[in-house]
Structures are given as C-alpha cells and as structure tokens.
Amino acid sequence: MISRYTHKKLNWIDLESPTKEEVREVMDEYGFHPLIADELLSPTVRPKVDLYDNLIYLIIHFPAVSYVNGHSGTQEIDFVIGKDFLITTHYELVDPLHEFSKVFEVNSILDKSDMGKHAGFLFFYIIKELYRKLILELDHIDEQLEDIEERIFLGEEPAMVKKISRVNRDLLNVRQAIRPHKEVLDSFELAGTQFFGDDFTYHLRSIIGEYYKVFNILEGHKETVLDLRDTNDSLLTTKTNETMKTLTIMAFMAFPLTLITGVFGMNIKFIPFAEDENGLLAILGLMTVTGIVMFIYFKVKKWI
C-alpha cells in the first residue's frame, strides 16, 4: 500500500507491505538503484547505512513491546532519503509512523509549520517520534516495576517471581532490538553530514542523543529489576528458612512425645503404669511435662 504526503517541497512516500509493482513505481519515479528496490520487498535481518550519489539508504529495527503492540519482537523500517523526498517501507503497521502521518497531513493542509529545507529534517522528526514512542513503552515497564516493588513488600513474593521474569524479558527484547542503533546512527551521521552538509550535523547529533535517552532508561530499568529480584529472592529465602525452622522445631518436639507413646504402647509385661487405673493420666502428664521442658529449652536457646 502506498501513502503519499506532501508539505511544500518535501515529499514523503510511505510503503506498507509493498508489492513489486508498487516498489517499481516508486523506483521509476525517484530513480534509486534496483538493489534497493529488491531489499524493500522483504524484511532484512541486519541494519545498515548505504550512501549513494542521490540518496541515503538506511535500515533500522525498532522493538515492539508485547503489552502495547500485542506481540513481542522487532519492526523493521527502511528509509530512502533524498534531498527533497523520503521513502519509508515497513511490513506491518508501525504506530509512530501512523501517528506522525496525521500530524504531517494536518501541517500540510494548514501550512502551519516548517519541516525544514530538505528531507533529512523529515527523517529527523520521524526518528524522534519513534524514540518518543519507545520511551512511552518503557514508561509502562516503569509502572510495572513500581507495582512489583509494592507487592513484594505486601508479602506476594512467590507471585512476583514470574512477573519479574516477564519484565526482564521485555527489557531484554528492547535491548536486543536497539543494540545496533548506536553503530548505525554513527554511520548515518557521517553519511548525513556528507550528503546534507555541515549545517545538518546538529540534528544528526540530536538523533544519537535520542538513542542515549532510551539507552539510559534501559540501564536504569535493568538495575531496578536486578535489585527487585535480589530483594524478592532474599525475602523468599527468609520465609523458607522460617518455615523450615518451624517444621524442624515441631518435629524435634514431637520426637520425645512419640518415643513416650511408643514405649508405653508396647504389649509386654512390666510396662510402668500398665496396671494402674490412673496410668493414662500419668502418661499424659509425663508427655505434658516433657513438652513444657522442651519448650523452655528452645526459649532459653532462643530458637523460638
């Protein structure tokens, strides 16, 4: 599907899951290399930056967090950036691009803002929107971390083990997706400076700054998750130790009482109190005294 947007002298062509005919139409219109056309037809595993005489070709992947987009993984976006045109290609709906298209269309109709002198500025605004959306997704993770912290100290440690693992998985997916961004954006800074001139260097550095915002948030979330996991594990271990301690004390106290009942329950002669009519009371009294003595002993030892 081809969507076209125009603002003054800038043209933006957005291709979603394009067909061969659509790619060829755009290729003939803007004259880019057939190799680029081939790559636009299907997703590419590795990001890259290629500088041509009349354009820059950039492939970059952005994470799709499960609770926002309904699935986890990455979304590839291909950028073909010329002097006065920008072509974006993706293979599924990308929310930030869809939202930016509405803003771009409104600005085009009202002619109320200046998108810049060339398509590099348009790319700059789109990348900023993509990173802004990613930061909003990370804010959802921040809310989950706050909820986990609160529930840990409410005594829900066992339930938090899985929740911490899920949050850590989401963070890992985001980290894996944006890990190549620094290298790609550094290469794009060199290509962009050569293609658009030194005046555009500030905006190229700003794009890298947007990446570092996300990276720093991820680092903070990573440390928080590790701290919460350590705290949760410590509380779980303490609870387990307290349970084992209680069970051990109960078993140790029950042992002499079990021994007493076993001895007096043997069916042989000369068992004390066997013929006494008050024998049962005497045995129960002995068991009670033994239990009290054991309890006092544990108290003195500060085991309970």
Q: pLDDT (tens digit, 9 = 90+) per residue, 186-228? A: 888 898 888 888 888 888 899 899 899 999 988 898 899 888 8
Domain at 2-237, CATH from 3.30.470.10, 3.30.460.20, 3.30.70.360, 3.40.50.720:
3.30.460.20
- Does pLDDT of 70 surpass 50? no
Percent share of the chain, pLDDT over 70: 85
The answer to whether 160 touches 242, Cβ cutoff 8 Å, is no
| Secondary-structure class of domain 240-300 per CATH | mainly alpha
Residue with tokens 């890990």: 179
Quote the pLDDT of residue 238.
78
Q: Which amino acid is at 272?
A: P
First to last CA, the chain: 73
Query: Helix, strand, or coil here: 234?
Result: helix
Global pTM?
A: 0.72
Residues 26 and 8: their CA atoms lie apart, in Å, by: 20
Look over the chain and give the mean of its residue pLDDT values, rounded to a whole number.
80
Q: Residues 48-66, buried b or exposed e (16+ Cβ, 10 A)?
A: bbbeeeebbbbbbbbbbbe
The full set of domain ranges for the chain reads 2-237, 240-300
Given a contact cutoff of 8 angstroms between Cβ atoms, the answer to whether 99 and 93 are in contact is no
Q: What is the rounded CA–CA span in Å between residue 81 and residue 127? A: 13
Q: Which of 44, 133, 39 is nearest to 87 (CA)?
A: 39
What pLDDT digit, counting tens, does each position of 102-148 carry?
A: 777 666 554 555 666 888 888 888 898 888 888 888 888 888 888 98
Which backbone phi and psi does 47 adopt, to 5 degrees?
Answer: -75, 160
At 95-109, the pLDDT tens digits run 777 777 777 766 655
Three-state SS at 71: coil
